[in-house]
Structure 1
Amino acid sequence: MSRPARITIDLDALRHNHRVLRRLHGGRLLAVLKADAYGHGAEACARALAEADGFAVAFGDEAMALRAAGVRAPLLVLEGVFSVAELHAAVRESWSIVVHHEAQLTMIEGCALPSGGLDVWLKLDSGMHRCGFGPDAFRAAHARLMATGKVSSITLMSHFARADESDSAFTAQQISRFDSAAAGLPGPRSLANSAGVLSWPAARRDWARCGIALYGAGAEPQAGLRPVMRVCSEVIAIREIAAGEPLGYGGRFVAARPTRVGLVAFGYADGYPRSAPDGTPVAVDGHRVPLAGRVSMDMLTVDLTALPSAREGSEVELWGRDVPVGDVAARAGTIAYELLCNAKRAPKRHVGW
């Protein structure tokens, strides 16, 4: 009998989320499939989203994998290219590429490319200060790209640092800086990431780039989005421990009363955060119970005292429909992105074809 840990990817929920975000944004939308579609399976998600305006990935190898799988939709490479060979691949495979620093710009200027062979997204640093050109350099970069004769079109873009903070004025400042720097320049605009689409109407321009919201993770239930990933296992053993007895590595959990403990076949090697504290919610047969004790590599333990109906073989949802992944991430002091991307060892099953 195989180990009961499993991951289900609901492609109907993915398509639903895509339609919700596309409708909310109003313009065109790139579905972000980087990091294997945030752990959901990039090729399967791309096939499921045949209606998408296009996809975005992090780097060239991810783009190559999708092209090799037969995905012919528009592809944007968010980190841009790292070499002349990748620049030629972008032309050959019809990728759009982000240009966000001087070395990429000079590579294009110095490389022999066909006339009008490149589609470029030019990135402004509007305040995040991670990558992108400053306002004056941004306008100069636009002129230099056009002067090469190698560029068919330029989309103007930036990236938000704090769009998920609705009480922060920083996103409004970034929008204003972008509009000022891009004033008078031709070409489509792209500002909104997931949080921008959900919370900042002023950011909804020609193109959106949606990642985490597409997968229904984080704090988006109010937008009608559905979780796409459901991570499950089973209770594989049950035991009783007496009041005052410790449980698990380091004895972090000490029973305050006679406690019924369920052993679950899932651990940090499967992607569950080791940093999750006692009390982190886990759903057993649809009922929430608390995590009890430190997460091990292959197993974790839960307090079943309040759920006498639980038995060996009871279904355990680590995150999904009953326990949002964002709740687990918040308890563990991290973000949903990390948990989704780390869920790699348990077998994945895509449903909703």
Structure 2
Amino acid sequence: MRLAIAEINLTALAHNLAQVKQCAPQSKVMAVLKANAYGHGLVKIAQYLNDADAFAVARIDEALALRAGGLTKPIVLLEGVFDKDDWAILLANNFQTIIHDDNQLSALENAQLDTPIACWLKINTGMHRLGIAPSQFEDFYQRLQNSKNARNDIKLMTHFSSADDIQDTKTTEQIRLFNSLVVGKPQAHCLANSAAIIAWPAGHGDWVRPGLMLYGVSPMLNAIGQQHQLRPVMRLMTKVIAIRDVDSNQCVGYGGRWCSDKATKLAVVAMGYGDGYPRHAKQGTPVIIKGQRFGIVGSVSMDMITVDIGSNGAGIVVGDSVIMWGPELPVEEIAQCAATIPYELLCNITPRVSYEYVE
């Protein structure tokens, strides 16, 4: 019997991509597939994103996995190139790269290439992570324009730091700065991540980069995906493997974090931090069994979690399915219970969880 399963709904994935296009109808779509497609399965997800115009990954091994899986769409390396031997790999696989500092630009200029490479010039407009300083823009722009190793259709991009908060003016400031730098430049512009696609249409540009919203999860603060007409793609499930009676004042699990105040029954479910479930989920974090919500009690263990199912046991038996998150139980809610973000929960799914793709 398979226990922990991540059910991936490909119809929901296609719906979410359609929602991206509805939000930004004039923009091309670069689907972000880094970190194993946010925990959903890199190659399989890419194969069902036929309407995307390009894919984006963080690192070259992710890009190579897509090509090995038969994907032929343009692939952009969001972190760029860090080794001189990688230029040959880019050429052989028709990868595109971000240029975000002088080391990368100098390496490109000095590389011995048979044909030029498609490049995206990233400007730091306020994220202060990757990207050239605004004062460097004209110099980098001209160097790329003059380099025999860069295709002449370079694209210009930035990244927002606070687009998830509609009350924060930082995104407006970043859009204004970017536009002031690129005015008069004919190249395509790319600014918007998932949050900006939803909340900042002024930042849509020629390309948008949806990540989290493709998987049906809200990128906005204190929101869930359904509020933006998104459909959760992952349902994380497991099984009940034991039912136990607990008397009043008995403590459960490592450290005795929870003690019963009355006689009750516990369902032991096959899920834990060894599967990627957050160890610090608080007491009462919900799961769904037989269509009803129940709260977890005690410490999340490596392989098991205990759930208080009440004194009558609610008719629950060994083998019943347990939903840890999914369309019925938003991963955003579980993230709040664990004092983290949905990105982390999705990306932390471990290899021992079986994947099942449905349409």
Q: TM-score, normalised by structure 2?
A: 0.95
What is the aligned partner in structure 2 of residue 273 from structure 1? 278
5 Å-filtered alignment, 1:153-192, equals 153-192=153-192
Letter in 2 for 1:139: E
Q: Aligned to 1:351, which of 333, 348, 358? A: 358
Structure 1 Cα separation of the partners of residues 47 and 102 of structure 2: 35
Structure 1 Cα separation of the partners of residues 205 and 226 of structure 2: 23
What is the aligned partner in structure 1 of residue 211 from structure 2? 211
5 Å-filtered alignment, 1:1-353, equals 2-26=1-25, 27-115=27-115, 117-152=116-151, 153-218=153-218, 219-305=224-310, 308-344=314-350, 345-352=352-359
Letter in 2 for 1:165: D
Unaligned runs of 5+ residues in structure 1 are none
- Give the superposition deviation at 1:347: 0.7
Task: After superposing the two structures, state which structure 1 stretch, 3-12 or 186-195, moved more.
Answer: 3-12
Unaligned runs of 5+ residues in structure 2 are 219-223
Stretches (4+) displaced over 6 A:
none
Give CA deviations for 1:69-120 in whole Å, capped at 9, x if unaligned.
11100111100111122122212211110011110000011112235x2111
- Give the superposition deviation at 1:288: 1.0
Structure 2 Cα separation of the partners of residues 80 and 23 of structure 1: 30
Structure 2 Cα separation of the partners of residues 56 and 90 of structure 1: 14
Letter in 2 for 1:335: I
CA RMSD of aligned residues (A): 1.2
1:276 match: secondary structure: coil
Alignment coverage as a number of residue pairs? 350
Structure 2 Cα separation of the partners of residues 271 and 10 of structure 1: 19
Structure 2 Cα separation of the partners of residues 324 and 300 of structure 1: 19
- Give the superposition deviation at 1:51: 2.1
Structure 2 Cα separation of the partners of residues 40 and 275 of structure 1: 22
Letter in 2 for 1:351: V
Instruction: Confirm or deny: 8 A CA contact 1:47 1:71 kept in the other structure.
Output: yes
Structure 2 Cα separation of the partners of residues 83 and 185 of structure 1: 30
Structure 1 Cα separation of the partners of residues 216 and 283 of structure 2: 26
Give CA deviations for 1:268-320 in whole Å, capped at 9, x if unaligned.
00010001010111111221111111100000011101762222222100011
Structure 2 Cα separation of the partners of residues 324 and 139 of structure 1: 45
Letter in 2 for 1:317: I
- Give the superposition deviation at 1:147: 1.1
- Give the superposition deviation at 1:213: 0.5
2:314 match: secondary structure: coil
2:132 match: secondary structure: coil
Indicate the percent of aligned positions where both proteins have the same amino acid.
42
